[in-house]
A = this chain, B = another copy of it.
Amino acid sequence: MKRISESTVGRLSLYLRILKEYAGGATISSEELAGAAGTSAAQVRKDLSLFGTFGKRGLGYSVPELTGELRGILGLGQEWRVALVGAGRIGQALFGYQDFRTQGFYIQAVFDSDASKVGERWNGTVVRADEELERVLATEAIDIVIVAVPAPAAQSVVDRVVAAGVRAILNFAPTRIEVPAGVALKNVNMAVELEGLSYALANERANDRRGRAG
């Protein structure tokens, strides 16, 4: 299959959420889907056409059928086993965000290097010691690791996790992480987003001063 861009995959994720909440009938047009997703009808059709022919000309897309296709494309037909490294504030918030579970992402293990946290029970899941990481990743057959440790510790956690064979990492530490080819890495970095907003504000003000023409 042809290479698919990250923006396309992100939109598929969005389309799926829209379909789940759609109450407009058994079929939906690219136009409607685009409206809800904030993109263009052509973009919707192009995105979907990269994976197959799901629509009916003159009619649109069957909502249940397209939902199923998108779930399949995104790999949501199966259960993913997730481990969380870092039981600090962010780790706790993520653990508590149980929406994940309904999407098929199950947090099977939590790790922390702080001895005072190890042994805590979080809703039935025990916080384990850092040293158990490699062993538990293997025994629990973990697919995805969420890294929620302080920035200086992040790369070494990632190196260990990758060495243990994990191929997908979601990084919350505000630092750049290196992974070898073949490992999927996504970053969630609030500092970058805030600085993006700062840039927008600073620049908007500059534009205002200049006379708001542009």
What is the size category of the interface that chain A forms with chain B? 35 or more
Docked-complex contact A14 and B192, CB < 8 angstroms: yes
What are the residues of chain B within 8 A of A191 when measuring CB–CB?
13, 17, 99-100, 103
Docked-complex contact B89 and A175, CB < 8 angstroms: no
A66 within 8 A of B: no
Contact pick for A75, options B17, B75, B170, B202, CB 8 Å: B202
Docked-complex contact B195 and A94, CB < 8 angstroms: no
Copies of this chain present in the complex amount to 2
In the bound complex, CA of A103 to CA of B194 (Å):
10
What are the residues of chain B within 8 A of A168 when measuring CB–CB?
197-198, 200-201
Docked-complex contact A193 and B186, CB < 8 angstroms: yes
What are the residues of chain B within 8 A of A6 when measuring CB–CB?
196
A184 within 8 A of B: yes
Chain A positions within 8 Å of B, measured between CB atoms, are: 1, 4, 6, 9-10, 12-14, 16-18, 36-38, 73-76, 78, 80, 89-90, 92-94, 96-97, 99-100, 103-105, 143-144, 167-170, 174-176, 178, 182, 184, 186, 188, 190-204, 206
Docked-complex contact A73 and B38, CB < 8 angstroms: no
In the bound complex, CA of A208 to CA of B76 (Å):
18
What are the residues of chain B within 8 A of A73 when measuring CB–CB?
199, 202
